[in-house]
Amino acid sequence: MPELLQQETTEKAPDGMIAVENPATGKTIQFVENMSAARIDELVARARAVQPAWHALGFGGRRRLMLALRHWLVQNRSRIVDVVVAENGKTREDALLAELFYIADSLGFWAKNAGKYLADEKVRTHSPLVLGRKVKVTYRPLGVVGVIAPWNYPLTLGFGDALPALMAGNSVIIKPSEVTPLATMLMSEGAEAVGFPSGVFQVATGDGATGSALVDRADMIMFTGSTKTGRKIGARCGERLIPCSLELGGKDPMIVLDDADLERAANVAVEWGMRNSGQICMSVERIYVEAPVYDEFVEKVETKVRALRQGKPEGYGSVDVGAITFPPQIETIAAHVDDAVAKGARVLVGGRRAPGAGRFYEPTVLVDVDHTMDCMTEETFGPTLPIMKVADEDEGIRLANDVNYGLGSSVFSKDLARGERVARRINAGVGWVNDAIMSYLAQEAPFGGAGESGVGARHGSAGIRKYTQTHTIMVSKWVLRREPTMFPNTKLGAKLLDRVMVLMWGRKPR
């Protein structure tokens, strides 16, 4: 694992290398290898060679290593936070809470629950034709799993996906974003330090071509990123007939009903609209507020956003909102705001790039917005909160569903039954009533998207079984040497089957 450079630089990357920048300063903090397809061949060969022994280690052996890695992570937390903040530009608080805290919890969760989720299942059969036979379903690893991770949460959305795959008995190769590879490389160092077999967990640094090479060679792909790239990966996996799980874009709506606790709603909107500069796939991206409480809600949000502190993260408590991690993303954010203003929206707070070094876009509140504007229908992935007035809950639901995405959604109401009823009508993989995002920490429950927000889910039994192949085994014990259905075919045998069918299913439905 390369340490951060002692001094940030503006030097260009050497041939075959990629420069990793600090988004808060715009300067390079390290260089990493841009791996070729030949290098991916080497990594996959190592991963494939070690995987059978890793699987044979069993859940208990893998569990011990996971818990040892959790201890290593806690002991090295300050160092890891430093790396995450330096390459991502997020606040130290977000790195600690949303990255390290989650990973520490997830290491323990999968260590404890993997064996339960993947235990052999006895199947109670109903058909009289399989009497005397025992049927069970087993789960066996796919082999080499490729995880292609995004830049916004390199540990949570990258290494976090490797954990259930590893506990299922697969070897894993992570291709982190070329923008934020260092934290993942640091976790590889930790795995080696606590005794993970060499080759069972590897990091493939590089650009899109590196990721493509991994898609062409792995036995399963877990991808988190844009819908555009997800379509390409899904198509390629389909050509190869290998499974894939895709968590893609989002445009999560919040509906604030006229009986909502507005203080709570405003706090959640600002927290999960501005956290990590809005660079969260399930962040609050658009808000619909019933007319009677619209003005009061907008006033609360405006006041809270104006109070946010933005800048280069230093120590804990220094800033609330950090930098924009991915260089092209700030262009998208600016384009969405400019488009809204050109079409009649008003900017109450922010609305421009922050001056000075680094990539910062001011926390922004937009009103007088509608669905002709990109900020209401396309993923912004930035620190913006467009707020739209609606006549009633039906209009709010209709507009919430007026996009192709369907990751998460929020509804605010003091009437919990009403809130849940509205939440059920929104096309999303996850719904929150009087909250947002926090169900992600309930790792027992699946987390996935609808529509163009993806295929498959994280967490729960579905989040680990996707890394396995089901294997159904039937054991025939109490059976005849020759059954009535066996050759040779006879008229008497056919007549018997015909009568059995009539007796079982021939009654007219009532």
- Active-site positions read 247, 281
Alpha-carbon separation of residue 280 from 56, 226, 365 (angstroms): 37, 12, 17
Q: Residue 60: beta bridge partners?
A: none
CB 126 within 8 A of CB 200: no
**How far apart are alpha carbons 262 and 412 in whole angstroms?**
8
For 130, phi then psi, to 5°, come to -115, 20
Where in 13-164 does DSSP place strands (E)?
Answer: 17-22, 27-33, 121-123, 133-141, 144-148
Local structure of residue 39 (DSSP, 8 states): H
Strands in 430-433's sheet, in edge-to-edge order, are 346-349, 364-367, 384-390, 284-290, 252-256, 408-412, 430-433
The angle subtended at Cα 215 by Cα 51 and Cα 241, nearest 5°, is 85
Per-residue tokens: 398? 């209709």
**How far apart are alpha carbons 202 and 32 in whole angstroms?**
14
- Provide the sign of the torsion angle of the four alpha carbons 246, 252, 257, 261, taken in this order: positive
Per-residue tokens: 275? 């956290």
